[in-house]
Amino acid sequence: MTVATSPAPLLKTNDLLVRDYSAPRDRFDQSWEATLATLLGLGRAAGADFIEFFLERSNFISCQAEDDIISSLSPRIITGAGVRVFLGKADCYVSTNDLSFAGLKVALDKALSIMGLTLPGPATNIAEINLELMRDYASVRGKDNWLAQCSPMQEMGDVLLAANNALAQTADHVQSRRAAYFRDWQEVLVAASDGTFARDIRLTQSVGYNLLCADGEHRSSIGQRSGDTSNPGFLRSWDYQSIAETVAESAGKMLYADYVESGSYPVVMANKFGGVIFHEACGHLLETTQIERGTTPFINKKGEKIAHENLTAWDEGLSPDAFGTIDMDDEGMPAQRTLLIENGVLKNFLSDRAGSMRTGHPRTGSGRRQGYTYAAASRMRNTYIAPGDYSLDELFGSIDKGIYCKKMGGGSVGATGQFNFAVDEAYLIENGKLTKPLKGATLIGEATEIMDKISMCSNDLGLAAGFCGSISGSVYVTVGQPHLKVDSITVGGR
């Protein structure tokens, strides 16, 4: 026999606003449910189609050693929240650093007013949003003690000074030595009117070198950086001695290298950070923010060939310890794996909630933001070209005269994929062999053209830490690829 039950009675606005909404400011836990469920209910009663709250606590510190002194130590502690309101496909975003019920209500009221909506009157019936049982990735995965386990300030300084000393002992003609480290701890809570209620803690760390050498008119500059997302002891495990030797060797070779002659060459690009070109020149063009603006040449190319048949590419948030790995995105969606290109055919775009609503492409767990002052947008995570079936010998052996780009530097990319990237360390390829070092090379091209010229990929996929700036601020990402051959690309030089 089925027993009929009465639905829970609706509450009046006055009843909701006099309840106890105390929630801890030093932790985001289940006790936040009443506050956020009520505010979401108020927003829905005002006529909003969708409302989302994003709460953040962060603890950041950076440390830099120049030569034999600590030149910078910069801490930053942040607490705040943002509310996003949708009406149809239009939305607005308001942020605040007041996490009291009254403060969050003011932010909600401002967002609603921007959309032409008002909070319900005092006698209005309100239905609180039924939030899911909190998905607490931080507690489930043992992250709550991560911050306490990280290196203290004294240890940061000691490690960086020791690292700089290692550079001094291994490099010649040193003009400046720099070692830098940062640690970014972030706790986030997402609650939305579709019932989303999820919490996570992120720990992102990075450490690296920059070495400048000079001898008369000869100059060389080499940098190296690594990153991690889940190891509190990351700085303690940094093998600065062996990395100092590698950086010093590269700087020494580039110091007296000949300048490259400009022209069009076949090029072998190294793995790991070589993937920055794919990230910049193609990855951004596969984000739904670009579709919304109409600035991607791939807007209507899903299911069509946009690259060489030997090229497959992924974006995902799952690789252990990688710089762009996340258990959930900043809209509370669990991380997953997205196939971007398969054998040259465009398979998927990267989409956040707003991008999905406006373009029709499904969400991919790619809604990311720098912090609470930004609304989430479609952003990359760990983005890389998949390994292929060729050996390094086959890649180099296929080139009579070309250039090996071992270490990429900085560059710029236009809105529709035109790019130029400096090469910090390069070598001439002659008859399938590396001969002499070259400097001053710049790779120049366009995404729609270079994608069809990546004809060979080796089987040595490597990932590297990177930083990506876009509409929702700066986020941590991974770039990557195996060694690959570009049949022809314009190389700027002397």
Is a pLDDT exceeding 80 seen at residue 13?
no
Query: What's the mean pLDDT when you consider all of the chain?
Result: 94
Give the model's pLDDT for residue 1.
44
Residue listed under structure tokens 């090996």? 404
SS3 100: coil
Q: What is the mean pLDDT of residues 476-481?
A: 97
In 117-241 the beta strands, taken as DSSP E runs, fall at 125-126, 135-136, 174-192, 197-215, 218-228
Q: What is the mean pLDDT of residues 298-311?
A: 96
Q: What pLDDT digit, counting tens, does each position of 202-257 carry?
A: 999 999 999 999 999 999 999 999 999 999 999 999 999 999 999 999 999 999 99
Lowest mean pLDDT among 72-76, 159-163, 260-264, 411-415: 411-415
Q: How far apart are CA 86 and CA 95, in angstroms?
A: 15
SS3 471: coil
Q: Which of 376, 292, 290, 286 is nearest to 339 (CA)?
A: 286
Confidence of residue 3 (pLDDT cuts 50, 70, 90): very low
Q: What pLDDT digit, counting tens, does each position of 351-403 carry?
A: 999 999 999 999 999 999 999 999 999 999 999 999 999 999 999 999 999 99
Domain boundaries, the chain: 11-140, 146-186+201-257, 263-492
Query: In this prediction, what percent of the chain has a pLDDT beyond 70?
Result: 97
Q: Which of 51, 60, 52, 54 is nearest to 28 (CA)?
A: 54
Instruction: For 330-349, give the secondary structure using H, E and C.
Output: CCCCECCEEEEEECCEECCC
**Strand 263-269 versus strand 313-316 pairing type:** unpaired
Q: Which of 140, 134, 141 is nearest to 32 (CA)?
A: 134
Is a pLDDT exceeding 80 seen at residue 459?
yes
Query: Phi and psi (nearest 5°) for 299?
Result: -55, -40
Right CATH number for 146-186+201-257 from 1.10.357, 1.10.10, 3.40.50, 3.30.160?
3.30.160
Contacts of 489 (CB under 8 A, 6+ apart): 264, 265, 266, 267, 443, 444, 445, 450, 453
Q: What is the DSSP letter of 398?
A: T
Q: Which residues pair with 83 in a beta bridge?
A: 53, 94
Is a pLDDT exceeding 50 seen at residue 282?
yes
Tally the C-alpha atoms within 13 A of residue 366's C-alpha that lie toward its C-beta: 33
Residue pair 298/286 in contact (Cβ under 8 Å)? The answer is yes
12-19: which pairs have CB atoms within 8 A and are 24 or more residues apart?
12/122, 12/123, 12/124, 12/125, 12/126, 13/42, 13/45, 13/119, 13/120, 13/121, 13/122, 13/123, 13/124, 13/126, 14/122, 14/123, 16/41, 16/42, 16/126, 16/128
Q: What is the mean pLDDT of residues 305-311?
A: 96
Is a pLDDT exceeding 80 seen at residue 440?
yes
What is the model's pTM? Answer: 0.93
